[in-house]
Amino acid sequence: MAEQTLIAPHHQFGTADLRRSPAAHLAAQFAAAEVTGLHSLALREAPFRTMVGLRVVPGTDAARRVEERLGAPLPARCGEVAVGAGSSVLWLGPDEFLVVSPLGSTVDPAEATARLVEAIGGQPGSAVDLSANRTTFELTGKAARDVLEKGCALDLHPRAFAVGSAYVTQLGPVPILLWRTGNETWEIFPRASFADYLGRWLLDAMREFHGTR
């Protein structure tokens, strides 16, 4: 009998490992820009995060099913973030939300989207995989707010921008979603096409603190 050669399915070759993130080429510069001490700073990209754009009207049967699936009520107002079972939901508008997986998670975007589509159940609303639409920059450190204040018009003081809040805004000329995840930790969501520009903008804004290690 002739020898048979079995070809493994495409996904078994680790196709995901071949992906290149929008700011991968800046990784060494991000690492070199780290500052320690009184004005500590660190910048990194957290790529390939699962993000699902969700449109559903709060209070409807579809919204209630979505909330059950997410394990949290939908955010009710601008800036609010709901933390559910394995994901967070950021408010973008009265009936528009962004469902985001935790940093470093391995949530399958197709599966996450399908679960929300199923919960909507044919009623008005939508769930769309937007994972490739944005990347995530994480900026941390005692001087992180100082860096952001160079190009963000929002009041970033804790009295106005509390930990756990997220707002659509701009950093320099770049539209972003800005999420304060800790006292000294911010997650910045630019569209992938702006990742190079914004990464370099942040590096430049961090430069004045390099001599304060």
* 159-202 per-position pLDDT tens digit: 999 999 999 999 999 999 999 999 999 999 999 999 999 999 99
Residues 192 and 151 both lie in one domain: yes
Residue 32's domain comprises 23-47+135-213
**What is the crossing angle of helices 109-120 and 61-70, to 10°?**
150
Spatial distance between the Cα atoms of 71 and 123, rounded to a whole number of angstroms: 20
Spatial distance between the Cα atoms of 55 and 37, rounded to a whole number of angstroms: 44
For position 104, what pLDDT does the model report?
85
**Residue bearing tokens 């070759």:** 13
- β-pairing, 185-190 with 174-182? antiparallel
Residues 75 and 171 both lie in one domain: no
Nearest CA to 134 out of 192, 47, 54, 200 is that of: 192
Residues 57 and 102 both lie in one domain: yes
| Domain-located, residue 97 | yes
* Last-in-domain residue among 132, 151, 170: 132
For position 18, what pLDDT does the model report?
79
Residues 110 and 157 both lie in one domain: no
Residues 98 and 143 both lie in one domain: no
Determine contact, residues 155/148, Cβ cutoff 8 Å. Answer: no
Domain count of the chain?
Answer: 2
pLDDT average, residue stretch 73-89? 95
Residues 119 and 172 both lie in one domain: no
Please determine, for residue 5, whether its predicted confidence score (pLDDT) is greater than 60: no
Residues 155 and 208 both lie in one domain: yes
* Last-in-domain residue among 81, 108, 132: 132
Nearest CA to 185 out of 155, 146, 150, 141 is that of: 141
Residues 39 and 102 both lie in one domain: no
Q: Largest Cα–Cα distance of the chain, in whole Å?
A: 77
The CATH number given to whatever domain includes residue 32 is 3.30.1360.120
- Please state the pTM of the whole predicted model: 0.89
Kindly state the tokens that stand for 211: 């001599």
Determine contact, residues 195/174, Cβ cutoff 8 Å. Answer: no
